[in-house]
Amino acid sequence: MTHKDLQSSKPRARAFGLPFSGRTGEFNAITDVTGIEVGFRTLVEDTPRPGRKRPVRTGVTAIMPHAASPVPVPVYAGVHRFNGNGEMTGTHWIEDGGTFLGPVMISNTHAVGMTHHATVKWMLERYASTYDSDDFLWLMPVIAETYDGVLNDINGLPLTETDVFAALESLASGPVQEGNCGGGTGMITYGFKGGTGTASRIVSLGGKDYTIGTLVQANHGQRDWLTICGVPVGQHMRDGTPQSQMQERGSIIVVIATDLPMAPHQLKRLARRASIGIGRNGTPGGNSSGDIFLAFSTANPQPMAHRAPPLLTLEIINDEQLDAVYLAAVDSVDEAIVNAMLAAETLGGTVHDRFRIEAIPHDLLADVMRQYGRMTR
């Protein structure tokens, strides 16, 4: 089954009528960057497992650069920590070495260890011809998380090695599922149901088009902060329900991918711009939030360092050209979060739940946006 088969029937931000600007790629998704594939494993169970009190609503998301390559391909990368109440593995080496090797995986807070273990095992099996005999190699995929314990039995540790393998085996290009899927299954955004969202932008530099693609796992913010396209939406949607009164207690992971040739120090600067992208939706980066961002480039593919020649050739963009790239990243992060919220479905509310988290009401959102003259239809 493809991502297109699983896509929400709800309109995305632009089709809904929100005035996002900029030229998108074909799918308005991170998969518009050539060679990137995305996969999901989603677990939704309305009754608790034996011996547990809460249901399972969680999953894992996989993002794979150079997905078709028969051998592992390191990619240049940069990271930024806007607020550090969260986890993203492999960042120490990205800071020092400027690369990572393998997929980027996003799940829940208590599944980081299982996801890392299973991803390494998957890579060892996928690249068995590379990691054989006495070749002293190590693997360091990037594993990130946000907390889904409001809607999910997070302490039951439901995510298994099989689930991680399933996400990786479902890697595909094309349209990307959004909302309640993968690692975003149990996530909450600004007091509404949140989750997985994606968007892209095309920038033209030196007569050539390049793509900036973003994927977010949105689990952050509180209701009164919510801002969409400059409109203080959250101020109009205070309804007195427990979820609308929730304080900031979540996180957001942002992954920015591009085919633009960029060096690690430039990618670190690009990752930093995600702070502005999430800020457009209203969050100041709350104390309890893990706002952690990764940017990587699929350009300049290199062999693994121990097999590379002594001197490497690296093409990079002139820093003077980066303003358009920064704007594209900010815009795509902003739109990806709104796409996640529009696609999300109401979750919870059974006899086993503490909360029912409603999806943002599309009709009320449209009414608010029209009050400010911010709908395109």
Q: How far apart are CA 240 and CA 334, in angstroms?
A: 27
Assign residue 287 a region (left: φ > 0; alpha: ψ between -120 and 50; beta: otherwise).
alpha
Token readout for 135 is 């070749």
Task: Out of 289, 331, 332, 334, pick the active-site residue.
Answer: 289
Per annotation, catalytic residue among 32, 148, 259, 291: 291
Apex CA 83: angle with CA 80 and CA 86, to 5°? 90
Q: Is 239 a catalytic residue?
A: no
DSSP class per residue in 95-117: HHHSEEBS-EEEEEGGGHHHHHH
Of the residues 107, 170, 251, 332, only one is catalytic, namely 251
Strand, coil or helix: 330: helix
- Number of other residues whose CB lies within 10 A of the CB of residue 109: 16
Sign of CA dihedral 237, 353, 57, 220: positive
Q: Which of 291, 204, 295 is nearest to 257 (CA)?
A: 295
The CA distance from 352 to 200, in Å, is 38
Residue 331 among the catalytic residues: no
Based on the residue annotation, tell me whether 21 is a catalytic residue of this protein. no
| Active site amino acids | 251, 289, 291
